[in-house]
Amino acid sequence: MRALTGARRIFDVPAVLAAAFLVLAGAGLAVAADDEEKTFPAEDVLAAGPEDDKSLGSPDAKVTIVEYASLTCSHCADFHGKTFPELKKRYIDTGKVRFIFREYPLDALAMAASALARCSAPDRFFDVTGMFFDTQTVWAFTDKPVEGLTALARQIGFTQESFDACLTNRTVIDGLDKVKRTAFEKFGLHSTPTFYINGQEFRGARTIEEFATVIDPLL
């Protein structure tokens, strides 16, 4: 489970992107001291995101899971690679659970990747975020992250122009920052992944069995 840190330093950034990463870095948030997992009114959790929440599953499902994740978080990638496919098959695709994904970028690079996912076609959002999680080792944990991110962006249809435009789009960046700050201020959220199941907070990547023990009694 990754805790919030300052923005990582980016080297060899092309001149056209230098300003973008200064914007993306922004001001850090101080880490909250309270480590107790809490329960919040479900309506408060559902209201915490932007109007264009990215979701899967039936809006009428009895159970709603909200995940806050950072695309540079290895524990988030582990959840999406190991647990999420079965969660989707067993609960989301069957209409039992509505799953909402919210970005909580822990550094400038995660903010950039989240922006690219948001700038992609709406129906490809989950495919793009899944790709970023699957390929973390070739862009998030490398000496040349910008080059890795740029190469992946080209694979999903970005040109250099649209790539640069996305990373300097203040509407997108400010929206992502608002989601992050709202979660921090309202719920004291400071690490990823963090899940809210009908308002009940769970931190860290969980197994499908752990999810089942919480979800099944609510159905």
Q: Which two tokens stand for residue 110?
A: 């995660």
87-124 confidence digits (pLDDT tens) = 999 999 999 999 999 999 988 889 999 999 999 998 99
Would residue 28 count as lying in a domain? Answer: no
74-89 confidence digits (pLDDT tens) = 999 999 999 999 999 9
E strands present in 57-129? 63-69, 97-103
Residue pair 200/191 in contact by the 8 Å Cβ criterion = no
| Band of residue 3 on the pLDDT scale cut at 50, 70, 90 | low
Q: What is the pLDDT of residue 21?
A: 52
Backbone angles phi, psi at 79, to 5 degrees: -60, -45
C-alpha pair distances (Å), 139 with each of 76, 142, 143, 176, 180: 15, 6, 9, 20, 22
Of 13-22, 65-74, 138-147, 148-157, the range with the highest mean pLDDT is 65-74
187-209 confidence digits (pLDDT tens) = 999 899 999 999 999 999 999 99
Cβ neighbours of residue 118 under 8 Å, at least 6 residues apart? 125, 166, 172, 175, 176
Q: Which two tokens stand for residue 54?
A: 């990215």
Total domain count, the chain: 1
Would residue 21 count as lying in a domain? Answer: no
- The pLDDT of 131-151, averaged and rounded, is 91
User: Please, what is the Cα angle at 111 between 189 and 122, to 5 degrees?
Assistant: 100
Structural domain that includes position 164:
37-218
Would residue 23 count as lying in a domain? Answer: no
Would residue 29 count as lying in a domain? Answer: no
Is the sign of the CA dihedral 151, 156, 161, 164 positive or negative? negative
Q: What is the number of other CB atoms lying within 10 angstroms of the CB of residue 44?
A: 12
Is the sign of the CA dihedral 87, 105, 148, 115 positive or negative? positive
Would residue 100 count as lying in a domain? Answer: yes
What's the pTM value of the predicted model, to 2 decimals? 0.86
Residue pair 190/105 in contact by the 8 Å Cβ criterion = no
- Rounded Cα distance between 151 and 137, Å, is 13
Which value, in Å, is the radius of gyration of the alpha carbons in the chain? 17
Q: What percent of the chain has pLDDT over 90?
A: 63
- The pLDDT of 134-157, averaged and rounded, is 91
First-to-final CA distance of the chain: 28
Would residue 161 count as lying in a domain? Answer: yes
Would residue 141 count as lying in a domain? Answer: yes
The overall average pLDDT reported for the chain is 85
Would residue 7 count as lying in a domain? Answer: no
The CATH number for 89's domain is: 3.40.30.10
- Rounded Cα distance between 77 and 132, Å, is 9
Q: Which two tokens stand for residue 7?
A: 């923005």
